[in-house]
Structure 1
Amino acid sequence: MSAVISFRVPRRLKEEIEKLGLDYASELRAYLEELVRRKKAEALRREMDSLREDIGRIEGNLAAEFIREERDAH
């Protein structure tokens, strides 16, 4: 399934693209995919930062505590 996105560019730019024989559709598709990937990653980072703020700092060494509990259980 696909959709069409169209936009206007200055005529001079379109002529230069054609002269250079650029496959602008593929280039734009790749750019948009990368842009979406980066924006999603940024949104996830902001969400993680917000969760870290909500949780706050955890005191102690949890890894060591978990290892000690596991050892003591056996």
Structure 2
Amino acid sequence: MSTVISVRIKKEIKEELEKQGIDVDQEVRKFLEELYLKVKAKEYVNKWIEDLKDVKPSVEGFSVGSVREDRESH
């Protein structure tokens, strides 16, 4: 599903960009899609931060002990 938006810019800007071989429609679409991805990524990061704020850190030395335990079990 898609929707249509319109953007008004100066005619000379569009003409110059097209003269340089730039597809204005494609560039605007690409910019908005990349902006969407950045917004969604920021949303996910903020959710993860919120989810992890109440998680207590591991006790000191947990990683070392866990790796050692794993190695010895093989």
Q: Normalized against structure 1, the TM-score is what?
A: 0.71
Distance 1:38 1:7 in 2: 22
Q: Alignment RMSD, CA only?
A: 2.1
> What is the CA distance between 1:63 and its match in structure 2?
1.9
Alignment of 1:1-74 (within 5 A): 3-9=2-8, 13-20=9-16, 21=18, 22-74=22-74
Higher helix content, 1 or 2: 1
> Which residues of structure 1 form unaligned runs of 5+?
none
Percentage of identical aligned residues:
24
Number of residues of Structure 1 aligned to a counterpart in Structure 2 = 70
> Which residues of structure 2 form unaligned runs of 5+?
none
Q: Normalized against structure 2, the TM-score is what?
A: 0.71
Distance 2:68 2:14 in 1: 68
